[in-house]
Structure 1
Amino acid sequence: MTRRLAVREESWPLAAVFAISRGAKTAAQVIVAEISDGRATGRGEAVPYARYGQTPAGEIAAIEALRPDLEAGLDRRGLQNRLPAGAARNALDCALWDLEAKVAGVPAWALAGRRRLDPVKTCLTLSLDTPEKMAEAARAAARRPMLKLKIGGADDLDRVIAVREAAPRTRLIVDANEALDFEALRRLAPELARLEVKMIEQPLPAQADEALEGYESPVLLCADESLHTRADLSRCVRRYGAVNIKLDKTGGLTEALALAAEARAVGLQIMAGCMVATSLAMAPTMILAQGAEVVDLDGPLLLARDREPGLTYQGSLILPPPPELWG
């Protein structure tokens, strides 16, 4: 049966400016791939990320270059060697998972070998801002079980202290997005431990994180920008105790599940993460998030509006996706 491919860029306004150490944005720019076979349509959403040299136009061009093969029946297993890990492959991989599930009449989680798909609790991310503004945001979210703070400046310790005072019972993790150097980390980590921060995500630049080898951090360190696929695990296991797995980095759910299995086998904790995007991008990661120590799938909570139907968020609890959305 002949397939048809459609791919487009979409822009989703954010509810507020979202800032991290390397910049700020007011909208989520995503690409959406749709693959139809006459019986069903599979969809996948991805976020091209400038940090990795990606643009929406470039990722769409990479998808279009595969149009003849995709429309001739290229499956997600064959896809793995046709595109590098990244947004383009993620959009297609997730669309093929969705199509396969719909054609087979079984949930995607069953195709992935899961017995069921349970709700998960996500952390909520606080955008990088002044200590006062971050404390205000934390106070409004103090009943949530976990908050993730973006850091990356001279006032980092003040930020964390302010948030801890505003949300004294909430579990805290911090994300530096590569903004620290090793000496800054060594100074900051004991203070974060005193404030009961549970995790520091990507403290150093990915190209400089060899400094972490042999360092006994008082707070669990988690790789993000340093980890994309299984090829990065041998380095990360010597430098981190946890890894943030995002489908936009792995190039889809197929590699993400394989990466999670190998990461667990070498003793690393799993964080199931996301870029800022709609529920369509979060839905496949719900499979990855089963049993993860940390879940960070709050992208839709940062948008002015989500696509419909979307995921159901009950506070921090995310319910499994409806089949009309994905899978």
Structure 2
Amino acid sequence: MAIQLKSVRVERWAVAGSFVIARGAKTFVDVVVAEVLGADGAVGRGEGTPVYYLGEDAAGCRDEILRAAAHIADLDAAAARAVVQDIMAPGAARNALDCALWDLEAQQRGLRLWQLAGCDGAPTARDTAFTISLGSPGAMAEQAASAAADGYRLLKLKLTGEDDRLRVAGVRKGAPDARLIVDANESWGQLDILGEAEALADLGVEMIEQPVPVGADALLDPIYAPVPFVADESCHTAADVARIGAFYDGVNIKLDKAGGLTEALRLADAADAAGLAIMVGCMLSTSLAIAPAFVLAQRARWVDLDGPALLARDREGGFEFRDGRVGPRVG
């Protein structure tokens, strides 16, 4: 059934309080939403959050989708997805359009998204990490205690390469029973990486995300750390696995980096083939962006899909975050 781009728009969503990482604080997030219309009247929707460290912005993503529209007009959804992979680079724009086309095709074929994606069974609720924003050790301890009181059993800490051990110790004090993973955000390039990893392992950290800068991944080559290293900024698509696979134990798959569910599934297959663990993460986003990622999250060792939980409000009928788990809203 022939399709056309129905609309593409930029939406602004307020963050609950502020979201602080090493690169700065955010009080809102701008996302791009694409809608594609089938000849049968069905409408598929997808959402992308610009990848800020790649220089993307929402207006630019919107314009990229508008430019792509003429290339997919009058195709069916599956053919349009194939074209989109060729004419658009990985990133938030392609993610929004790719996921809209998945949504449309599933509706037109009378399937659920997980069925169309070839999953063995319906997705079920998963434990999700809750992100502890960067702050003083005391402030992060308070955030951790609040998150644990809300039922989160897996906490993800943002680090900077300075006073990381103190921050992790503070969070451990605030949430003594929580599982901890950390995101070093490329900040350990000048540190004793093994020493840092061993110290955090002693505090119960079970995974370290992106410890070194992009392009410096070989710094991890001689290190046999007590906890796994997971590539984030260093791994966007399936093609990256061959380059970084020798240095990491896992990959963090984000649909905005990969450029949609199509490439994210390829990346997951490549990670499996290379023996790398899978983490599925997200940017700040609404539940519209989480829906396709949630399908992929069924394959993940670590799930970090708390984007909507960090907003002041989510879309109506969005995912439910209860007792530290993310899942479709029931009723």
TM-score (norm 1): 0.95
Mapped to 1, the partners of 2:3 and 2:124 lie a distance apart of 35
* 1:283 aligned counterpart, secondary structure: helix
Tell me which residue corresponds to 1:97: 102
> How many equivalent pairs are there?
322
1:59-74 map, 5 Å: 59-73=61-75
My pick for the range that moved more, 206-215 or 105-114, is: 206-215
Tell me which residue corresponds to 1:210: 218
What is the deviation of 1:98?
Answer: 0.2
Identity %: 49
What is the deviation of 1:185?
Answer: 2.3
Tell me which residue corresponds to 2:111: 106
**Residues 161-215 of structure 1 deviation map (CA, whole Å, 9 limit, x = unaligned):** 0111111111100101112224242331111011110001011111212211121
Tell me which residue corresponds to 1:235: 243
What is the deviation of 1:114?
Answer: 1.2
* 1:28 aligned counterpart, secondary structure: strand
What is the deviation of 1:128?
Answer: 0.4
* 1:216 aligned counterpart, secondary structure: coil
Q: For the structure 1 residues 319 and 266, does the alpha-carbon distance in structure 2 shift closer, same or farther, using more than 3 Å as the test?
A: same
1:1-327 map, 5 Å: 1=2, 3-37=4-38, 38-73=40-75, 75-116=80-121, 117-142=123-148, 143-320=151-328
Q: For the structure 1 residues 321 and 233, does the alpha-carbon distance in structure 2 shift closer, same or farther, using more than 3 Å as the test?
A: farther
Counterpart contact for 2:4–2:69, Cα < 8 Å: no
My pick for the range that moved more, 178-187 or 162-171, is: 178-187
**Residues 273-310 of structure 1 deviation map (CA, whole Å, 9 limit, x = unaligned):** 00011000111001110131000000011000001121
Amino acid in structure 2 at the alignment position of 1:27: F
Q: For the structure 1 residues 123 and 129, does the alpha-carbon distance in structure 2 shift closer, same or farther, using more than 3 Å as the test?
A: same
Counterpart contact for 2:137–2:168, Cα < 8 Å: yes
Amino acid in structure 1 at the alignment position of 2:294: M
What is the deviation of 1:124?
Answer: 0.4
Gaps of 5+ in 2: none
Counterpart contact for 2:3–2:72, Cα < 8 Å: no
Amino acid in structure 2 at the alignment position of 1:60: R
Amino acid in structure 2 at the alignment position of 1:121: D
Mapped to 2, the partners of 1:217 and 1:321 lie a distance apart of 39
What is the deviation of 1:321?
Answer: 6.7
Amino acid in structure 2 at the alignment position of 1:134: M
Counterpart contact for 1:199–1:222, Cα < 8 Å: yes
Counterpart contact for 1:32–1:44, Cα < 8 Å: yes
Counterpart contact for 1:283–1:321, Cα < 8 Å: no
Mapped to 2, the partners of 1:321 and 1:29 lie a distance apart of 24
* 2:285 aligned counterpart, secondary structure: coil
* 1:147 aligned counterpart, secondary structure: strand
My pick for the range that moved more, 309-318 or 242-251, is: 309-318
* 1:297 aligned counterpart, secondary structure: coil
Counterpart contact for 1:126–1:138, Cα < 8 Å: yes
Mapped to 2, the partners of 1:209 and 1:160 lie a distance apart of 23
Amino acid in structure 2 at the alignment position of 1:6: S
My pick for the range that moved more, 49-58 or 247-256, is: 49-58
What is the deviation of 1:71?
Answer: 2.4
Gaps of 5+ in 1: 323-327
What is the deviation of 1:6?
Answer: 0.8
Q: List structure 1 runs of 4+ shifted beyond 3 angstroms.
A: none
* 1:284 aligned counterpart, secondary structure: helix
What is the deviation of 1:140?
Answer: 1.3
Mapped to 2, the partners of 1:293 and 1:189 lie a distance apart of 20
Mapped to 2, the partners of 1:115 and 1:232 lie a distance apart of 27
* 1:291 aligned counterpart, secondary structure: coil
Counterpart contact for 1:182–1:211, Cα < 8 Å: no
TM-score (norm 2): 0.94
* 2:18 aligned counterpart, secondary structure: strand
What is the deviation of 1:50?
Answer: 2.2
